[in-house]
């Protein structure tokens, strides 16, 4: 029996819970995963060719970031055709082949849906900007100028500058929370909702197992166009967006009604899963609203860890405690890395501790109550790449240089072969430079080393699959001090104690039971630097 077949059999033996509950999801950023045709840009055929690697990790699901037809101003999050495949990624036939291969390997497959905005190249926007009346006139958010010609209100965009751009053809301003090339859809409009739900049904009928929904709390604005109040004192401010409380440009309560309509469509396809991305100061309350009960979304994740400058026991304890196990409370998802956030090992540990930290971090992620998300390369312990200014592609990084989230540095090509050109990603010039440190972390190199981060990832994910307490159990925080984090995971008669040293120095610690997994140095009286242990108690 092959490794993939063994993993499929192991999944079939699990308790009859929804497949996504406690699942491990692997995020693929298509531009940077694998290039099959030598143009320097990853594509769907490249993904399909490497799905065996993904399945071998022991994950349950693959999330594919946008591959839709797009002018690529925000690299696919500016959609010009919600049903089309951009030629740089392939064809619908390539997509169908990818879905079929994923399913053959026992993997679920979910894709992004971008409902808050489209590209300005979308035919809907072309029709909307052409006339004040007509079928698409109010499919986007339009407003007249003030008497002095200035924008309708003070709203600021995430990527810098006002959220309003003047359109001479229509003689009005249009609203965009992100780039001017990403006009906001008027999701208050039932016709827009109908069109988006038709898009969802199109992909579900094509075989996807659900969606990750991008920036869903930006999907509706205050129709009264009320000015946002100034931000409260404190906090880092690098963009005009940071100077406001975002009470009116996003987070309208009617978003929930739309999500309930989406749930109805999802329920037409048994097992379909919906995961929301929610950011901002009100993220926790919005995530709870979006996942409350059974008529909304299944799960949500925020930026608790993605933008955190350090990983502390208090941060983990606060995040875990924010999702109590109670009636009507939704199910959380967690990510330490993704395409929008710098690599966690580079954010949270000094270079000399990267390997040890990566092992501890993987065990911690696998111990969290919720669904967990690994970003491509996280199973290799990839570090953040410093991309020079003259090679940056990310519009946010360019606009806010040098104060940047460095999204390009986490989007660099996946290293497959240490001794091949461009580390096996492409035979052509990659769209972003490969990481200088990544040859030593390449997949082929780590495959030969039973003590590698890659090997540790497989062990950790196998443990999570086999232990019901880790996958579905309740969590109880025992200690969250300056360095030491201890919590229990409990499911039925199974009780596991998870202990983590989140620091580069040894700490006093006492064992409580039988060790079933560990990372780095563990002694009877201490946890070494970034030491971690799971015990059966």
What residues does each domain of the chain span?
3-117+190-465, 474-536
pTM of the entire predicted model = 0.96
233-to-245, 251, 280 alpha-carbon distances in Å: 11, 22, 16
C-alpha closest to that of 11 among 456, 335, 331, 462 = 462
- DSSP per position, 295-356: SS-SEEE-STTTT-SS--HHHHHHHHHTS---TT--EEEEES-BTTB--HHHHHS-GGGHHH
Q: How far apart are CA 156 and CA 239, in angstroms?
A: 9
Burial 150-178 (b: 16+ CB within 10 A, else e): ebbbbbbbbbbebbbbebeebebbbbbbb
The DSSP bridge partners found for residue 16 are none
Q: Which residues are catalytic?
A: 214, 268
162: DSSP letter: B
Count other Cβ atoms within 10 Å, centred on residue 384.
Answer: 20
Answer yes or no: same fold for 3-117+190-465 and 474-536: no
pLDDT at res. 416:
98
124: DSSP letter: H
C-alpha closest to that of 363 among 502, 517, 505 = 517
Q: How far apart are CA 193 and CA 144, in angstroms?
A: 24
Q: How far apart are CA 512 and CA 522, in angstroms?
A: 13
Write down the residue that tokens 């693959």 correspond to.
62
**3 state DSSP class of 453:** helix
- What Rg do the C-alpha atoms of the chain give, in angstroms? 23
| Contact indicator for 116, 218 with CB cutoff of 8 Å | yes
State the pairing for strand pair 210-214/108-114: parallel
pLDDT at res. 82:
98
Q: What is the CATH number of domain 3-117+190-465?
A: 3.20.20.80
pLDDT at res. 402:
84
Q: What is the dihedral of CA 506, 510, 514, 516, to 10 degrees?
A: -20
C-alpha closest to that of 317 among 379, 272, 364, 378 = 364
Q: How many Cα atoms occupy the beta-carbon half-sphere of 526 within 13 Å?
A: 10
| Contact indicator for 31, 44 with CB cutoff of 8 Å | no
Count other Cβ atoms within 10 Å, centred on residue 205.
Answer: 10
pLDDT at res. 399:
85
- The residues of the chain scoring below 70 in pLDDT are 1-16, 404-405
Q: How far apart are CA 77 and CA 215, in angstroms?
A: 10
518-to-143, 291, 486 alpha-carbon distances in Å: 58, 33, 14
The crossing angle, in degrees rounded to 10, of helices 255-266 and 190-205 is 30
pLDDT at res. 430:
98
State the pairing for strand pair 514-519/507-508: unpaired
If phi > 0 it is left, if psi is from -120 to 50 it is alpha, else beta; for residue 522 that is beta
Q: How far apart are CA 176 and CA 226, in angstroms?
A: 15
Q: What is the CATH number of domain 474-536?
A: 2.60.40.1180
Query: Residue 118 — φ and ψ, nearest 5°?
Result: -125, -175
């Amino acid at each position: 029996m092959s490794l993939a077949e063994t993993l499929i059999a192991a999944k079939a033996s699990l308790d009859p819970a929804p497949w996504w509950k406690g699942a491990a999801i692997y995020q693929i950023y298509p531009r940077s995963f694998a290039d099959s045709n030598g143009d320097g840009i990853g594509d769907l055929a490249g993904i399909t060719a490497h799905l065996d690697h993904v399945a071998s990790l022991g994950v349950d699901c693959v999330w594919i970031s946008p591959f839709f037809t797009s002018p690529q101003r925000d690299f696919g999050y500016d959609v010009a055709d919600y049903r089309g495949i951009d030629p740089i990624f392939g064809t619908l036939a390539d997509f169908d082949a990818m879905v079929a291969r994923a399913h053959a390997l026992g993997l679920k497959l979910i894709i992004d849906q971008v409902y808050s905005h489209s590209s300005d190249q979308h035919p809907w926007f072309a029709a909307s900007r052409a006339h004040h009346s007509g079928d698409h006139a109010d499919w986007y958010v339009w407003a007249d100028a003030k008497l002095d010609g200035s924008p309708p209100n003070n709203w600021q965009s995430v990527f810098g500058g006002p959220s309003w751009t003047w359109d001479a053809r229509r003689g009005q301003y249009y609203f965009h929370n992100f780039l001017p090339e990403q006009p906001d859809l008027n999701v208050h409009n039932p016709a827009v909702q109908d069109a988006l739900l038709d898009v969802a049904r199109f992909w579900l009928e094509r075989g996807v197992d659900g969606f990750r929904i991008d920036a869903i709390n930006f999907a509706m604005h205050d129709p009264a166009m009320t000015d946002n109040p100034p931000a409260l004192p404190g906090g880092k401010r690098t963009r005009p967006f940071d100077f406001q409380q975002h009470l009116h440009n996003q987070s309208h309560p009617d978003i929930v009604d739309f999500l309930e309509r989406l749930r109805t469509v999802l329920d037409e396809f048994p097992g379909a899963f919906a995961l929301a991305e929610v950011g901002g100061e009100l993220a926790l309350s919005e995530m709870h609203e979006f996942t409350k009960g059974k008529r909304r979304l299944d799960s949500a994740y925020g930026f608790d860890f993605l933008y955190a400058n350090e990983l502390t026991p208090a941060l983990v304890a606060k995040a875990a405690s924010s999702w109590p196990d109670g009636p009507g409370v939704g199910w959380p998802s967690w990510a330490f890395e993704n395409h929008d956030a710098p690599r966690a090992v580079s954010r949270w540990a000094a270079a000399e501790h990267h390997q040890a930290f990566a092992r501890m971090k993987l065990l911690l992620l696998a111990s969290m109550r919720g669904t967990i998300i690994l970003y491509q390369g996280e199973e290799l312990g990839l570090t953040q790449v410093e991309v020079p200014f003259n090679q940056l592609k990310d519009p946010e990084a360019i606009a806010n240089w040098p104060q940047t989230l460095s999204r390009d540095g986490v989007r660099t090509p996946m290293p497959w072969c240490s001794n091949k050109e461009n580390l096996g990603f492409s035979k052509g010039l990659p769209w972003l430079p490969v990481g200088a440190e990544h040859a030593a972390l390449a997949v082929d190199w780590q495959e030969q080393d039973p003590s590698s981060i890659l090997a540790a990832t497989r062990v950790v994910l196998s443990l999570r699959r086999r232990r019901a307490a880790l996958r579905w159990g309740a969590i109880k925080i025992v200690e969250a001090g300056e360095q030491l984090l201890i919590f229990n995971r409990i499911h039925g008669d199974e009780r596991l104690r998870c202990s983590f040293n989140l620091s580069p120095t040894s700490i006093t610690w006492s064992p409580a039971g039988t060790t079933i997994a560990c990372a780095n140095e563990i002694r009877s009286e201490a946890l070494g630097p970034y030491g971690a242990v799971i015990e059966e108690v």
